Amino acid sequence: AAGVIQSPRHLIKEKRETATLKCYPIPRHDTVYWYQQGPGQDPQFLISFYEKMQSDKGSIPDRFSAQQFSDYHSELNMSSLELGDSALYFCASSLGGRAATNEKLFFGSGTQLSVL
Amino acid sequence: GENVEQHPSTLSVQEGDSAVIKCTYSDSASNYFPWYKQELGKRPQLIIDIRSNVGEKKDQRIAVTLNKTAKHFSLHITETQPEDSAVYFCAVHNTDKLIFGTGTRLQVFP
């Protein structure tokens, strides 16, 4: 079965550079979530989209922005990168927006971002 | 907002023993409680979940219990095996997103 696809798998950037992470949800899933996981930490919710509209926002820095496109894929744009942005970034998808099915999240393999 | 606490942070057991991990939450409106297993550098994988209208759910060696009145739920792993070694996260679904506990590193020694 198709899973959530994230690219790239690894990304190395310098401080103050920009990065773009991509996420392709499971087919027919209409909700996408972004999580940031630092070393030894739990995943922290950044932002989510339902039907191409932002549905919730967590601890996402102003330097980050995201959107969901017409084909439901999503991109997380990160600017003015800082050393502390080094983390594993997961995308997850679910089906159903505000229906009960939206509770079950399926995670991608993540993008390991290293800021040097 | 919702606050999820998870204990213990580390747990070491002998192969064949049982392991129990506990989580508490604060918002009584939360109604979906999944558990994820995460191996180093890999994605969180859903291993079992429970909804608030159920008190217990079991899947082979894994079970989850929920006490909605006390606002806590637990993961039980019986007959542990070395391949059960990983970090386990509880989570609570609240306002259309999952909020994770702080994780438990489980080590199963042969």
| pLDDT tens for each residue of A12-70 | 999 999 999 999 999 989 899 999 999 999 999 999 998 889 988 998 999 999 999 99
**A62 Cβ contact list (under 8 Å, min separation 6):** none
Identify the band that residue B29 occupies on the pLDDT scale cut at 50, 70 and 90.
confident
At B79, list the tokens: 């007959």
| Chain B: closest CA distance from residue A96 (Å) | 11
Residue appearing with tokens 């998870």: B6
| B22: three-class secondary structure by DSSP | strand
| Chain A: closest CA distance from residue B78 (Å) | 24
At A102, list the tokens: 């939206």
| CB < 8 Å to B100, chain A | 42-44
Beta bridge partners of A67: A75
Task: Please tell me the predicted confidence (pLDDT) of residue A45.
Answer: 95
| pLDDT tens for each residue of B96-108 | 889 999 999 999 9
**A100 Cβ contact list (under 8 Å, min separation 6):** B32
